[in-house]
């Protein structure tokens, strides 16, 4: 019987496979689709459609990872196709299936869930826990944890595990980011200035450049950007950039051996500076300059972290957004798709970072004429923002409207 199947035409195999799939006989359907695939050019649009069918069938059989591989192969063929391209209906449908499978994988494996446990045991690493809570948009718990750290720092009777002065500055900076994330900009400015004052006291009068000083100035500049003071934000971000480059020169000229880990950490901090200045240029509508900054950040991050890292997704997302502003939608679309996939896997389906990537992907789809595919993404984005931000005029909400 199976030998005779191999003699059937590709279209007959596909038709039989579709019938079996509809009847829930997924193993038999899979066999027909695989035989049909053998009869088609591996790089053709038809092969991509068969890969899509195989991906759907493997998903029904519970093999999410093989299913994802098939969808990835199909999407690449669709994107490279002269007659279809990245904005086609086929590419949109395959992307939608990839997002669904990623959700399934996350639920099966726990990927995208928090990597720490809250509770009394975690107080000795409270600053790091607070930063994790902020990253996962758990603002109330983050604020509570960070304020407990600062209270411990000011308690003379505290145990030897109390946070150090450096950790105190880090906690204040993180509280500044927290206030920024909640749209409390006046409070965020006050916290960053307090962090800057403490950092300068720790570094001493002769030190003009210190990691915490740089972080505090950059944080203050971000608040200025969010609150609309773009020219001052640009000036401060350029100051941060020059400080980082001076630090890099000192490291290069130093007689002492600089560890690879320290060098990588500094490069990644430079990538953050590129990103922040790129976002400032974007809001100043200097899109070409912004694109250069985001591409520089992406190059640095790809040198030092995995291509599926959350940091890479940030650069991909901002690069795609800027390409959209320059109306280069076909170039933006594959970058945006990759960013969505990474952020879904890393953060899960309810995080504002994932929402932003959906918004950018929707802009890409509109730009290539696929408005029908954009609508559901915008709706999902707004649902996430509505659940995360209480104020509908929040700065992270408005760009997605």
Q: Binning pLDDT at 50, 70 and 90, where does residue 229 land?
A: confident
Share of the chain above pLDDT 90, in %: 23
pLDDT in tens, 325-358: 999 999 999 999 999 999 888 888 888 888 999 9
pTM for the full predicted model: 0.58
Q: What is the pLDDT of residue 154?
A: 57
String of DSSP letters for 79-97? HH-SSS-TTSHHHHHHHHH
List Cβ neighbours of 243 (8 Å cut-off, separation of 6 or more). Answer: 208, 209, 213, 214, 217
Average pLDDT over residues 200-209: 55
Q: Helix or strand or coil: residue 189?
A: helix
Contacts of residue 186, Cβ cutoff 8 Å, sequence gap at least 6: none
Q: What is the pLDDT of residue 245?
A: 87
216, 224 contact by CB (below 8 A): no
Over the Cα atoms of the chain, what is R_g?
25
**pLDDT tens-digit series, residues 11-52:** 888 999 999 999 889 999 998 899 988 888 888 888 888 989
User: CA-to-CA distance for 305 and 312, rounded, in angstroms?
Assistant: 8
- Residue 171 near residue 195, CB atoms below 8 Å: no
Is 4:30 a contact under the CB 8 Å cutoff?
no
Q: In the prediction, which pLDDT does 280 show?
A: 95
Contact 353, 397 (CB under 8 A): no
């Amino acid at each position: 019987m199976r030998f005779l199947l191999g003699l059937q035409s590709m279209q007959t195999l596909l038709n039989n496979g579709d019938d079996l799939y509809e009847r829930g006989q997924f193993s038999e359907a899979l066999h027909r689709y695989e035989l049909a695939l053998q009869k088609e050019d591996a790089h053709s649009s038809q092969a991509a459609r068969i890969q899509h069918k195989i991906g759907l069938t493997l998903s029904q059989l519970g093999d999410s990872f093989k299913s994802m591989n098939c969808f990835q192969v199909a999407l690449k063929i669709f994107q490279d196709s002269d007659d279809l391209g990245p904005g086609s209906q086929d590419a949109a449908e395959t992307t939608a299936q990839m997002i669904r499978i990623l959700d399934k994988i996350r639920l099966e494996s726990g990927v995208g869930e928090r990597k720490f446990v809250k509770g009394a045991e975690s107080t000795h690493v409270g600053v790091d826990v607070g930063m994790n809570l902020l990253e996962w948009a758990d603002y109330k718990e983050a604020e509570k944890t960070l304020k407990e750290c600062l209270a411990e720092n000011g308690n003379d009777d505290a145990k030897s595990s109390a946070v150090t002065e450096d950790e105190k500055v880090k906690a204040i900076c993180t509280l500044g980011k927290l206030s920024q994330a909640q749209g409390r900009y006046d409070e965020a400015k006050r916290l960053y200035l307090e962090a800057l004052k403490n950092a300068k006291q720790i570094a001493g009068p002769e030190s003009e450049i210190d990691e915490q000083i740089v972080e505090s100035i950059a944080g203050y500049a971000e608040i200025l950007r969010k609150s609309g003071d773009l020219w001052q934000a640009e000036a401060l971000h350029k100051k941060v950039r020059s400080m980082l480059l001076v630090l890099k020169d000192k490291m290069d000229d130093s007689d002492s051996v600089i560890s690879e880990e320290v060098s990588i950490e500094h490069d990644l901090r430079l990538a953050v500076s590129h990103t922040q200045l790129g976002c400032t240029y974007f809001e100043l509508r200097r899109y070409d300059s912004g694109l250069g900054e985001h591409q520089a950040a992406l190059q640095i991050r790809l040198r030092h972290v995995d291509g599926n890292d959350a940091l890479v997704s940030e650069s991909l997302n901002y690069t795609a957004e800027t390409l959209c502003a320059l109306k280069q939608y076909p170039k933006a679309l594959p970058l945006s798709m990759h960013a969505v996939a990474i952020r879904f896997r890393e953060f899960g389906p309810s995080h504002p970072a994932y929402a932003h990537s959906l918004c950018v992907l929707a802009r890409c789809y509109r730009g290539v004429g696929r408005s029908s595919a954009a609508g559901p993404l915008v709706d999902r984005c707004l649902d996430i923002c509505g659940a995360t931000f209480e104020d509908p005029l929040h700065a992270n909400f408005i760009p997605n409207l």
